[in-house]
Amino acid sequence: MTSYMQKKETVKRNWYVIDAEGKPLGRIASKAAHVLRGKHKATFTPHIDCGDYVIIVNAEKVLLTGNKLANKKYYSHSQYPGGLRERTAKEMIEKYPVEMVEKAVKGMLPKNRLGRAMYKKLFVYTGPEHPHMAQKPETMDI
């Protein structure tokens, strides 16, 4: 008996909405990465992008447990000398909540061209509204 290997032409993609209001960032990110990768499907194939589209709404209302608001740091570098920029989680959630959620999900995806293709199927919005109603997304509970 041979294993089933899905082809990229036969992948059927669905749309899912995750409401981040009052939920921990790590739980949301791991569930979104799981769906983006396609591991929730019986037809999962590791070398094919067989995941679904994920929409995360209410990114500014995500929850961080413990002292992460004060202690967790986000770093970025401009590739110039002295170009290291450091922000706390409190700054990120106040000014850049979308980038904070995107960075958490991206860190849980594979670090190769397949992971970059999966990341393109993620959409994050600060409020409860999103422009993807035409795709008839299903709500996903966490």
SS3 17: strand
- Note the pLDDT tens digit of each residue in 39-90: 999 999 999 999 999 999 999 999 999 999 999 999 999 999 999 999 999 9
Contact indicator for 28, 20 with CB cutoff of 8 Å:
yes
Q: Which candidate, 16, 79, 9, 19, places its Cα nearest to that of 49? A: 9
Domain annotation covers residue 28:
yes
Indicate whether 84 belongs to any domain: no
pLDDT above 90: residue 4 = no
Residue 46, domain member (yes or no): yes
Please write the tens of the pLDDT for every residue from 13-33: 999 999 999 999 999 999 999
Q: Which residues pair with 15 in a beta bridge?
A: 53
* CATH at 55: 3.90.1180.10
Residue 79 lies inside a defined structural domain of this protein: no
Whether 119 is in a domain gets the answer: yes
pLDDT of residue 142: 86
The answer as to whether 78 is a domain residue is no
pLDDT of residue 91: 95
| 3-state DSSP assignment of residue 38 | coil
Q: Are 53 and 135 in contact (CB under 8 A)?
A: yes
Domain membership flag for residue 37: yes
Number of domains in the chain: 1
Q: Is residue 81 part of a domain?
A: no
Domain ranges, residue 134: 12-64+92-140
**pLDDT of 81-122, one tens digit each?**
999 999 999 999 999 999 999 999 999 999 999 999 999 999
Between the alpha carbon of residue 90 and those of residues 17, 21, 98, the distances in Å are 25, 16, 13
Asked if 31 and 54 count as a contact pair (C-beta separation under 8 A), the reply is no
**pLDDT given at position 1:** 74
DSSP 74-130: EEEE-SSTT-EEEEEHHHHHHH-HHHHHHHHHHTTS-SSHHHHHHHTTEEE-SSS--
Confidence of residue 124 (pLDDT cuts 50, 70, 90): very high
